[in-house]
Amino acid sequence: MATFDARMVRGDIAQFNRVINNHPLTYLDSGATTLPPRTVLEAMNRYYELHHANVHRGVYQTAAEATAIYEGAREAVATFINAPGGAEEVVFTKNATEAFNLLAKSWGASQLKSGDVVLLSEMEHHANIVPWFQLRESHGIEVRFIGVGDDFRLDLSNLDELLRGVKLVSLTGMSNVLGTINPIKDLARAAHAAGALIALDGAQSVAHSATDVQDLDVDFLAFSAHKMLGPTGIGVLWARRELLEAMPPFLGGGGMIADVSVNGFTFAPPPARFEAGTPPIAEAAGLLAAVRYMSSLGMANVAAHEADLTADALTRLAGTFGERVRIIGPSNVVDRGGVISLDVQGVHPHDVSQVLDQHGVCIRPGHHCAKPLMKRFGLSATARVSFGPYSLVQDTDALLEALADAVSMFG
């Protein structure tokens, strides 16, 4: 039975005890990376202290323990996302970005030919754009974009037309700039009806609501551990078994082979095929702990908590600042997550963030690796606030106070 209390989550994170510029830390940058709870750090420490050994093929006890931890993480992730084929469908990468590169450079390069279309959206992160542009250069594929409407949602009015000739649709579950949550289940149905596969960028969505790949009926899923209370250095590409089996290796080396002789090599079955070299074992231990922790909170509870915080923040931002602070994203919490991009009239996002830092408030200015989206709305940057499971209304209080300071300083 899941229990959720944001104050308890906060209590599990030592960084919240810090004082920054004479103010308690107000961390509102979970969209960039989340703060890991103690249990994640302890799991990594315990691994290094007691179980550290290289994984696979080790006969001695600690090597078997390290392997069990590493493979246990794979099992836990498979359960967390409800992978139909279990742990063997879970490939560990460095992060979501590497997962997309693996997808484009292995699946894309082997399955797509000149003229095939990959359909993205204007709200994608560069991680889900640049690898496809690279494939366009090397393989002559076409990259097409679903536009974003003035309501900050995907413009699906001409979807049938956009889907023509498409082999893969690759979309974010939740925009890391707008907070918009996309109708992935509907889009998966439309993609499949058009004969295309669909990849989900779960970097933002996985940490803030439940992700069930069978219910969504997606074919690929990419995400990073560090955005879901886990450590940096490990991410996931999940794909249905038969898709992984058809994919050639991405990187070559130890661990990914079936056999090597002076004449050549044959490669291992998935997921080992895609994990050349010593993998991020301690990070897998951390990810395992993070998955257990998030599961114990209950993803529905996390989503509800963040929706409450977001609704409160949107109302108070509008009430306090009116036209002075424009929200670049949906103004209500329907199909919207806890990422709030601000455009403060007369104060550049970097200056907003600088003033907020003086209040111990951490937000992120910039283009958030989504330049096509920035261009769409005629902006070069926004000041982005984002919540996590440990966020509290008091964080919004601090945000509003610091923002008022920024607004009055710049007049």
Partner 1 sequence: MNSLDDLYREIILDHYRTPRNRGELPPPAVRVEGFNPLCGDEIVVHLAVTDGVIADIKLTGQGCSISQASSSLMSAAVKGKSLEQVRAVISSFKQLMTLEESVDQSPANLRSLGEIAALQGVVKFPVRIKCATLAWNTLAQALDELPS
**Which residue ranges make up the site for ligand PLP (CB under 6 A)?**
95-97, 125, 127, 172, 176, 201, 203-204, 224, 369
Asked if residues 167 and 118 have their Cβ atoms less than 8 Å apart, the reply is: yes
Question: Between residues 253 and 346, which has the closer beta carbon with respect to partner 1?
Answer: 346
Three-class secondary structure of residue 237 per DSSP:
strand
362 is catalytic: no
407 lies in the binding site for partner 1 (CB under 8 A): no
Helix (DSSP H) and strand (DSSP E) numbers for the chain = 15, 17
Question: Between residues 76 and 178, which has the closer beta carbon with respect to partner 1?
Answer: 178
Please pick, from the candidates 348, 372, 376, 392, the single residue that binds partner 1 as defined by CB under 8 A.
348
Minimal distance, residue 30 CB to ligand PLP, in Å:
11
Please pick, from the candidates 64, 194, 354, 401, the single residue that binds partner 1 as defined by CB under 8 A.
354
Please pick, from the candidates 158, 278, 345, 380, the single residue that binds partner 1 as defined by CB under 8 A.
380
Q: In what order do the strands lie in the sheet with 166-172?
A: 90-93, 235-239, 220-224, 197-201, 166-172, 117-121, 142-146
Minimal distance, residue 345 CB to partner 1, in Å:
12
- Residue 96 binding result from partner 1, ligand PLP, none, given CB thresholds of 5 to 8 Å by partner type: ligand PLP
Question: Between residues 373 and 403, which has the closer beta carbon with respect to ligand PLP?
Answer: 373
- Residue 358 binding result from ligand PLP, partner 1, none, given CB thresholds of 5 to 8 Å by partner type: partner 1
Q: What is the DSSP letter of 12?
A: T
351 lies in the binding site for partner 1 (CB under 8 A): yes
**Residue 149: CB partners within 8 Å, gap ≥ 6?**
155
Please pick, from the candidates 365, 370, 398, 400, the single residue that binds partner 1 as defined by CB under 8 A.
365
Token representation of residue 398 = 């601090």
355 lies in the binding site for partner 1 (CB under 8 A): yes
409 lies in the binding site for partner 1 (CB under 8 A): yes
CA dist 100 and 325 (Å) reads 35
Nearest Cα to 192, choosing from 209, 212, 216? 216
Question: Between residues 373 and 381, which has the closer beta carbon with respect to partner 1?
Answer: 381
CA dist 239 and 325 (Å) reads 41
Query: Which of the following is catalytic: 9, 166, 225, 369?
Result: 369
Please pick, from the candidates 22, 261, 263, 266, the single residue that binds partner 1 as defined by CB under 8 A.
22
CA dist 26 and 360 (Å) reads 6
CA dist 254 and 208 (Å) reads 36
Token pair 């050639």: residue: 248
Minimal distance, residue 350 CB to partner 1, in Å:
4
CA dist 267 and 110 (Å) reads 15
- Residue 365 binding result from partner 1, ligand PLP, none, given CB thresholds of 5 to 8 Å by partner type: partner 1
Minimal distance, residue 225 CB to partner 1, in Å:
25
CA dist 91 and 244 (Å) reads 9
Minimal distance, residue 181 CB to ligand PLP, in Å:
12
CA dist 191 and 202 (Å) reads 18
Token representation of residue 281 = 């074992």
CA dist 119 and 116 (Å) reads 10
Minimal distance, residue 399 CB to partner 1, in Å:
17
Which residues are annotated as catalytic? 369
- Can you give the binding site for partner 1, defined by CB under 8 A? 21-22, 346-351, 354-355, 358, 365-367, 374, 380-381, 409-411
